[in-house]
């Protein structure tokens, strides 16, 4: 770590433990330089870094101050489990494809995108690994590596699990074309058409689409933005339905950003084990934590081999390389066979380059940089939402990932907002994308992974203003009809 980074971290710690409070003036560059015995440029760099991370702000002609965050109102878990606990056929196709269509357009500000800014990733170094690995690649390995897949990469993954205190057998690791394929294969491995799958509410649209495509039915279970899925509600759903599998995101859930506490994860795994129900664990954001320690996946508590833990390098290292994996527990063999029949293998150059990168040992350093950037982006996003969105807008404060789930006043229709934002060159992911019956109409998932984009804050401001507009218009109409669309609310803030 460089000197200015250490210096910035010291100050960040003082802010975190409230020694420096919001609004406090920091020592001037000259003072700090003298006090710490470092050069002025080091102090400058440190302050600049803290500014980027959203922790301090420069006020012109006056110096640096600890930034005032109006503390966001947190959601609580819903008091009553509001998703109607019935299994449903799913159909959210068009909303999703519209969104994906915009994701690739560089003239759009990607607030609705599911992708992180690729500029955070070490793309040139990966490219160099592509060349050095493939220039004299043993041709035979182009066949040999198809199954079970690049050995060095699988070994690295097992070592990373081990470092996290999780015992995973190398034979359990199946490499896939990104986590999307891993999740799809897992779902197929443990279900047959007509089966019921339990998911969070709201949930990742990819899960809903996979369920639709495999002719399965979804049961949505109440989930709180701060603590994740409600274990009691899940237990009740398991009593009521013959659930064939659960598809959940205990770490930094998409779209909520929720993180399940460890004891909840343990209770979840034990509940499912008692009924022999497999858990498909989507953990693609697990490395992007802002907490002190890396949160363990539910897999860490699995003693029965029932948890299929799905990860990916797409969000954290190598977007577009399409390499993910699953530690498939007792289903690993089945999953691998399905992959052989479907795509045969991930791209062998991609696997080889990532394996070489991991071998070099700089992945963790890269992840630290990335988390630092995202922490800052989150602060920027929270600030902008608080400043520009309608009064009464609520949001959770995710401890990782790059999504912010916000709930606007019920008069705001997110689908209408999306249409308006689209005309201004801004993509949005409206709440109805995340349930099979289009609830969460006043919610948005905001991607702050592009927080370094100069268009980011202006776009948030524009959306906030549009939301106010929609709200005013809607209230005019609702006042006339006397029917405010309250019945759509499914997650209520605690009183």
Stretch that binds its own copies, among 301-309, 313-321, 419-427, 433-441 (CB under 8 A): 313-321
Write down the least CB distance from residue 249 to its own copies, Å. 17
Q: How far is the CB of 136 from its own copies (least distance, A)?
A: 7
Q: Is 342 in the site for its own copies (CB under 8 A)?
A: yes
Kindly state whether residue 346 participates in binding its own copies, applying the rule CB under 8 A.
yes
- Using the rule CB under 8 A, which residue among 343, 386, 416, 419 binds its own copies? 343
- CA–CA separation, 291 vs 293, rounded Å? 6
Establish if 23 lies at the interface with its own copies (CB under 8 A): no
Phi, psi dihedrals of residue 315, rounded to the nearest 5°: -90, -15
Choose the binding region for its own copies from 54-62, 116-124, 389-397, 415-423 (rule: CB under 8 A): 116-124
Sign of the CA dihedral running 170, 171, 177, 178 = negative
**Euclidean distance between CA atoms 404 and 254, whole angstroms:** 9
* Closest distance to its own copies from the beta carbon of 101 (Å): 7
Using the rule CB under 8 A, which residue among 178, 311, 376, 432 binds its own copies? 178
Q: Tell me if 237 contacts its own copies by CB under 8 A.
A: no
Q: Which is nearer to its own copies, 129 or 388 (CB)?
A: 129
174, 325 contact by CB (below 8 A) = yes
Q: What share of the chain is helix, strand, coil (3-state, %, to 5)?
A: 45, 15, 40
Strands 403-407, 443-447: pairing kind:
antiparallel
Q: Which stretch binds its own copies (CB under 8 A): 8-16, 138-146, 272-280, 435-443?
A: 138-146
Evaluate whether 406 touches 74 at the Cβ level (below 8 Å): no
121 forms part of the interface with its own copies (CB under 8 A): yes
Whether 320 contacts 346, CB under 8 Å: no
Q: Per rule CB under 8 A, is residue 454 in the interface with its own copies?
A: no
In whole angstroms, give the CA distance from residue 355 to residue 317.
12
- Interface residue with its own copies among 23, 37, 165, 193 (CB under 8 A) is 193
In the three-class reduction of DSSP (H, G, I as helix; E, B as strand; rest coil), residue 474 is classed as helix
Who contacts 337 (Cβ-Cβ below 8 Å, separation ≥6)? none
Q: How far is the CB of 348 from its own copies (least distance, A)?
A: 4
Q: How many CB atoms lie within 10 A of CB 41?
A: 11
Task: Return the residue of 9, 76, 82, 337 that touches its own copies, per CB under 8 A.
Answer: 337
Task: Tell me the C-alpha distance between 92 and 407, whole Å.
Answer: 20
End-to-end C-alpha distance for the chain, whole angstroms: 45
Quick check: 137 binds its own copies (CB under 8 A)?
yes
Q: Judged by CB under 8 A, does residue 126 bind its own copies?
A: yes
Classified as helix, coil or strand, 31 is helix
Site residue total, its own copies (CB under 8 A): 68
- Please give the residue ranges that form the binding site for its own copies (CB under 8 A): 93, 97, 100-101, 103-106, 110, 113, 115, 117-119, 121, 123-124, 126-128, 130-131, 133-137, 139-147, 177-178, 180-181, 184, 188, 192-193, 206, 209-210, 213, 215, 319-323, 337-338, 340-350, 353
């Amino acid at each position: 770590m460089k000197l200015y980074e250490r210096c910035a971290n010291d100050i960040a710690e003082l802010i975190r433990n409230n020694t420096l409070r919001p609004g406090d003036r920091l020592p001037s560059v000259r003072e700090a330089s003298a006090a710490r015995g470092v050069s002025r440029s080091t102090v400058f760099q440190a302050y600049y870094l803290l500014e980027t991370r959203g922790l301090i702000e420069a006020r012109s002609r006056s110096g640096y101050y600890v930034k005032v965050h109006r503390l966001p109102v947190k959601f609580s878990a819903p008091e009553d489990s509001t998703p109607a606990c019935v299994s449903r056929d799913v159909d959210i196709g068009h909303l999703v494809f519209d969104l994906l269509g915009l994701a690739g357009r560089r003239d759009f500000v990607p607030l609705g995108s599911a992708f992180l800014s690729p500029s955070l990733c070490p793309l040139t170094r990966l490219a160099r690994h592509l060349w050095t690995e493939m220039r004299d690649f043993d041709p035979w390995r182009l066949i040999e590596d198809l199954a079970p897949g690049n050995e060095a990469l699988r070994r690295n993954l097992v070592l990373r699990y081990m470092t996290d205190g999780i015992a995973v057998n190398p034979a359990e690791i199946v490499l896939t074309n990104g986590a999307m394929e891993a999740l799809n294969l897992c779902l197929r491995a443990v279900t047959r058409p007509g089966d019921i799958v339990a998911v969070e509410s709201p949930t990742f649209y990819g899960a809903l689409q996979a369920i639709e495509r495999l002719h399965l039915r979804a049961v949505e279970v109440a989930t709180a933005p701060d603590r994740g899925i409600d274990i009691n509600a899940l237990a009740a759903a398991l009593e009521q339905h013959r659930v064939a599998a659960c598809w959940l995101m205990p770490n930094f859930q998409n779209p909520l950003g929720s993180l399940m506490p460890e004891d909840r994860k343990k209770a979840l795994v034990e509940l499912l084990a008692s009924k022999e129900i497999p858990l498909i664990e989507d953990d693609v954001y697990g490395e992007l934590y802002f907490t002190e320690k890396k949160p363990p996946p539910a897999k860490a508590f699995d003693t029965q081999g029932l948890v299929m833990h799905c990860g990916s390098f797409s969000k954290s290292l190598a977007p577009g390389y399409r390499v993910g994996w699953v530690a498939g527990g007792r289903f690993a063999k089945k999953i691998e066979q399905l992959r052989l029949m479907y795509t045969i293998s991930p791209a062998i150059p991609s696997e080889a380059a990532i394996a070489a990168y991991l071998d070099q040992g700089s992945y963790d350093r890269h992840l630290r940089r990335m988390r630092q950037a995202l922490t800052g982006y989150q602060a920027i996003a929270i600030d902008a939402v608080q400043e520009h969105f309608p009064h009464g807008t609520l949001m959770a404060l995710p401890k990782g990932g790059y999504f912010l789930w916000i709930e606007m006043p019920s008069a705001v229709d997110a689908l209408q907002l999306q249409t308006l934002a689209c005309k201004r060159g801004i993509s949005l992911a409206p709440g109805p994308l995340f349930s099979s019956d289009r609830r969460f109409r006043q919610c948005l998932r905001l991607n702050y992974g592009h927080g370094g984009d100069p268009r980011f804050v202006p776009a948030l401001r524009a959306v906030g203003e549009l939301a106010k507009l929609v709200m005013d218009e809607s209230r005019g109409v609702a006042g006339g009809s006397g029917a405010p669309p309250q019945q759509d609310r499914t997650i209520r803030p605690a009183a």
